[in-house]
Amino acid sequence: MEHEAARPQVVRGLEKVIAAETNLSFVDGEKGELFYRGYNLHELAGRTSFEEAVHLLWYGDLPTRAQLDAFRTSLVSEMRLPTQVADMLKLAPPNANPMVVLRTAVSALGMFDPDGGSNLPEANDRKARRLLAQTSTIIAALHRIHMKQPILSPDPRTTFAANFFYTFHGRMPDELEHKAVDTVLMLHCDHGLAASTFACRVCASTLAGMHSSLASALATLKGPLHGGANTKAMEMLEEIEGPAQVEEYIDGMLADGKRVMGFGHRVYKTEDPRTRHLRELSSKLCEQAGLSHLHDISEHIERVVHERKGMFPNVDFYSATTQAALGIPKAFYTTVFAASRTAGWIAHIREQYADNRLIRPTSKYTGGFDGKWRPIDQRG
Ligand code: CMC
C-alpha cells in the first residue's frame, strides 16, 4: 500500500504556494509591509501620485518631471470610449452591479481596439495606456448615466485622479478630495499575487490578449472575499446606528459564524500597511463631509473585532468610509479598486508575457475508475 506521506497533497486555496516570480510588488505579511519595486508603500504614500506609481510599476522607476508630464498627457488622451461601448453602458439595466458592467465593457473594448489582435510589446504598451484610461472613463460614465447626466470629457490640464473625480461628479475636487482620490488609487495599485492578479496571469499565460486577461481579473475582483468587501463593509456600517451598538452587532455576527467584511487577510498577520493611510483619509474626509459618525463606528468596529478575534482591518475597510465621504455610491466602491488595480494587472500581464510558461497546475482526482457505459434507455 502507498504510504500516506508519499501521496501528493492538495494545498487548499494555494496558501503559501509560490506560483510565480515577480519584481513588481512584495507583501511582507509578518511585518505588515508592502513594496512597489523596492519602494516601501509608506515612503510613497501622500507624496507620489497615481501616475508616478503606475510609471514605477510599468517602466521600472519613478518618472522625471518630463516623463510624468508626457505619461499624464498620453493617459488623458486615451480616455475617450468608442461610441459603441458608451452606448452599451446606456443599455445596462440601472440596477446592474457596476462591476458586472465594467467587466462586460472592458471585454467589449477588445472588439474595438486598433491593437486588439496584436500581442507585440509596442502594441501592448499602447493598449496598457488605453485600458487604464478607458477603465476609469467607463466607471465615471456609468455613474453619470445613473445620475441622468451627460458623460464628460476629461480636462487635459489636470491629473488622472482629478479627472476621475471630475468625470464622475461633474465638478473638480477640492484639495483634500484630490489628494484622497490620488492616494486611494496609489494605495490599491498592486498587491503581489492577489486572487485577481493570479487570475489575469493564468489567462495571460495562455497568450490570450490583454482585454481577456483584464476581464478575468475583473471577474475575480468582484467577489466579496476580495474587492467586493468594501461595498459589504458599508452595508454593515449602515446597519449599525452608532458606536454604542457596535459590540452587540459584532458579537451577534461572530456568534452566527459570519465574517466581518473588511477584516482578515490571507497574507497579513498584522495591520495591512494601507489601512494607516486610509484610516487617516477617512477621518479627515468624513469630518469635512459631515460623516464623522460613520468613521467613529468604523473605529469602534476595528477595536471590537481586534479584541474578539485579534484581527486587523484590511484595505477594504476604511476604503468604504473614504469613498462614502468622496460622494461615491457604495455600489461603485469595487470599481474604484479596479480602476487602480488595472495598473497592477497590466504590469503582471506584461511580466507574464515577457517570460511565459503556461500556468497549468494539476489536481488530485477523487472520483472512481469503474464506469461502464450503458445505452441511454438502460440508465437510471
Ligand atoms: N470575520 C470573522 N472571522 C474571520 C474573518 C472575518 N473577516 N476572516 C477570517 N476569519 C476567521 C475564519 O472564520 C477562520 O476561523 P476558524 O479558524 O475559527 O474557522 C480564521 O479566521 C481563518 O480564516 P480563513 O478563512 O482560513 O483565512 P483566509 O486566509 O482564507 O481568509 C479572507 C482571508 C480575506 C478570505 C478572510 O479573512 C475573509 O473572508 N475576510 C472578509 C472578506 C474581506 O474582507 N476580504 C478582503 C480581503 S483583503 C483585500 C482584497 O483582497 O480585496
Residue type for 263, please?
F
Tell me the C-alpha distance between 138 and 120, whole Å: 25
- How is residue 374 written as a grid cell? 450503458
Dihedral sign, Cα of residue 320, residue 326, residue 329, residue 332? negative
| Candidate of 263, 267, 269, 278 to mutate for ligand 1, largest count of ligand atoms within 8 Å of Cβ | 263
How far apart are the C-alpha atoms of 148 and 109, rounded to whole Å?
23
Among 55, 169, 265, 348, the active-site one is: 265
Task: At 177, list the grid cell.
Answer: 478630495
Q: Do domains 42-223+329-354 and 229-325 have the same CATH topology?
A: no
Mean pLDDT, 10 residues at a time, over the chain (380 residues)?
Answer: 65 94 97 98 97 98 97 94 97 97 98 94 97 98 97 93 97 98 98 98 97 98 96 96 94 96 95 97 98 96 97 97 98 98 98 97 94 95
Q: For the chain, what are the domain ranges?
A: 42-223+329-354, 229-325
Q: Looking at ligand 1, which atom is closest to the CA of residue 227?
A: 52
Cβ proximity of 337 and 224 under 8 Å: no
Scanning the structure block, which residue is given the C-alpha cell 451627460?
150
Q: Decide if 189 contacts 54 (C-beta within 8 A).
A: yes
Ligand 1 centroid vs 241 CA: distance in angstroms? 25
Give the per-residue pLDDT at 2.
54
- Closest protein CA for atom 46 of ligand 1: 226
Q: Which residue has the cell 461603485?
A: 332
The CATH number for 42-223+329-354, chosen from 3.40.225.10, 1.10.580.10, 1.10.3720.10, 3.40.50.10710, is: 1.10.580.10
Query: CA 126, 129, 132, 138: dihedral to nearest 10 degrees?
Result: -70
Q: Does the annotation mark 146 as catalytic?
A: no
Cell of 351: 511580466
What integer pLDDT is reported at residue 182 of this predicted model?
98
- Compute the distance from residue 9 Cα to the ligand 1 centre, in Å: 23
Ligand 1 atom closest to Cα of residue 337: 52
Active site residue 169: no
Catalytic residue among 226, 293, 296, 306: 226
Pocket test of ligand 1: the residue of 184, 314, 340 to mutate, having most ligand atoms within 8 Å of its CB, is: 314
Q: Which atom of ligand 1 is nearest to the CA of 272?
A: 48
Distance CA 281, CA 349 (A): 31
Q: Which residues pair with 27 in a beta bridge?
A: 34
Residues across the chain: 380
Q: Which of 216, 218, 250, 256 is nearest to 233 (CA)?
A: 250
The predicted pLDDT at position 9 comes to 87
CATH architecture of 229-325: Orthogonal Bundle (1.10)
**Alpha carbon of 263 to ligand 1 centroid (Å):** 7
Assigned C-alpha cell, 120: 507585440
Counting other chains too, the contacts that 109-112 makes at CB distance below 8 Å and 24 or more residues apart are 109/81, 109/82, 109/85, 109/134, 109/211, 110/209, 110/211, 110/212, 110/215, 112/82, 112/84, 112/85
State in Å: Cα 199 to ligand 1 middle: 20
Known catalytic membership, residue 226 = yes
Amino acid at 105: A
d(CA 59, CA 351): 11
Mutate which of 222, 266, 275 for ligand 1? The one with the most ligand atoms within 8 Å of its CB, which is 266
Pocket of ligand 1 (CB under 6 A): 13, 194, 225-227, 229, 259-266, 309, 314-316
Q: Which of 182, 190, 272, 316 is catalytic?
A: 316
